[in-house]
């Protein structure tokens, strides 16, 4: 069995930016594509950014035990990790990188124990997070406030992760993440 690296953070904290940076390094990392029943945003493509399923399709896969973990992140909207993703990546000899919600990240850690590194990416403040979400221009004001409220809750889980990266200055967060990941990979 290989290793897994789990990145979790409130929406807008910058975890996807950090994950993409690390994937661009030659570290033997490969991204685990999550499944969701939310609609694609902008230019997102099924099988690239996410596996997009209807709620019914997602629930059929839950019933068939196809998920390593899954969570109803918002009412009627699931996110999850297909077991087949981990198998696909390990078969190549790569380390699996997850970009998942906080509860999903902690659930994956329980399954993999010492073979997993959990990293919580934290925004410098709730106000900074709100500004980032507004700056994206992808969500309504109502959706942004829903995400901010959820972020405040998610940040209470930070101390359950192996390490925390505060993404105040992106360049510093990228360097911090790379050092921590390299250290884990050589264990």
Domain count, the chain: 1
- What is the rounded CA–CA span in Å between residue 78 and residue 84? 18
In this structure, is residue 41 part of a structural domain? yes
- Six-digit token pair at 116? 């997993």
In this structure, is residue 112 part of a structural domain? yes
CATH of the domain at 161: 3.40.50.300
For the segment 29-75, what is each residue's pLDDT rounded down to a tens digit? 999 998 999 988 889 999 988 999 999 999 999 999 999 998 887 78
> What is the structure's pLDDT at 82?
93
In this structure, is residue 83 part of a structural domain? yes
Indicate if the pLDDT at residue 1 is higher than 80: no
Residue 23 CB partners (closer than 8 Å, separation 6+): 29, 30, 31, 97
In this structure, is residue 137 part of a structural domain? yes
Entry pTM: 0.84
Provide the pLDDT confidence category of residue 103 given band limits of 50, 70 and 90: confident
Q: Which domain holds residue 170?
A: 4-182
Q: Is 123 exposed, middle or buried (0-12, 13-18, 19+ CB in 10 A)?
A: buried
In this structure, is residue 187 part of a structural domain? no
In this structure, is residue 34 part of a structural domain? yes
Percent of the chain with pLDDT over 90: 63
- What is the rounded CA–CA span in Å between residue 88 and residue 5? 15
* Mean pLDDT for the chain overall: 92
> What is the structure's pLDDT at 7?
96
Q: Torsions phi, psi of 35, nearest 5?
A: -105, 150
> What is the structure's pLDDT at 108?
92
In this structure, is residue 23 part of a structural domain? yes
Provide the pLDDT confidence category of residue 19 given band limits of 50, 70 and 90: very high
Provide the pLDDT confidence category of residue 98 given band limits of 50, 70 and 90: very high
Contact (Cβ atoms closer than 8 angstroms) between residue 165 and residue 121:
yes
Indicate if the pLDDT at residue 172 is higher than 90: yes
């Amino acid at each position: 069995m290989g290793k897994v690296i789990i990145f979790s953070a409130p929406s807008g904290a910058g975890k996807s930016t950090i994950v993409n940076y690390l994937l661009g390094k030659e570290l033997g990392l490969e991204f685990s594509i999550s499944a969701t029943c939310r609609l694609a945003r902008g230019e997102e493509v099924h099988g690239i950014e996410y596996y997009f399923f209807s709620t019914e399709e997602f629930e059929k896969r839950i019933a068939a035990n196809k998920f390593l973990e899954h969570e109803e992140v918002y009412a009627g909207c699931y996110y999850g990790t297909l077991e087949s993703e981990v198998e696909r990546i390990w078969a190549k000899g790569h380390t699996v990188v997850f970009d998942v919600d906080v509860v999903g990240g902690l659930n994956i850690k329980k399954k993999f124990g010492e073979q997993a590194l959990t990293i919580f990416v934290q925004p410098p403040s709730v106000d900074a997070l709100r500004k980032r979400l507004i700056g994206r221009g992808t969500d309504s004001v109502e959706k942004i406030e829903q995400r901010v409220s959820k972020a405040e809750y998610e940040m209470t889980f930070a101390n359950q992760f192996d390490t925390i990266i505060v993404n105040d200055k992106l360049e510093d967060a990228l360097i911090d993440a790379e050092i921590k990941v390299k250290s884990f990979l050589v264990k």
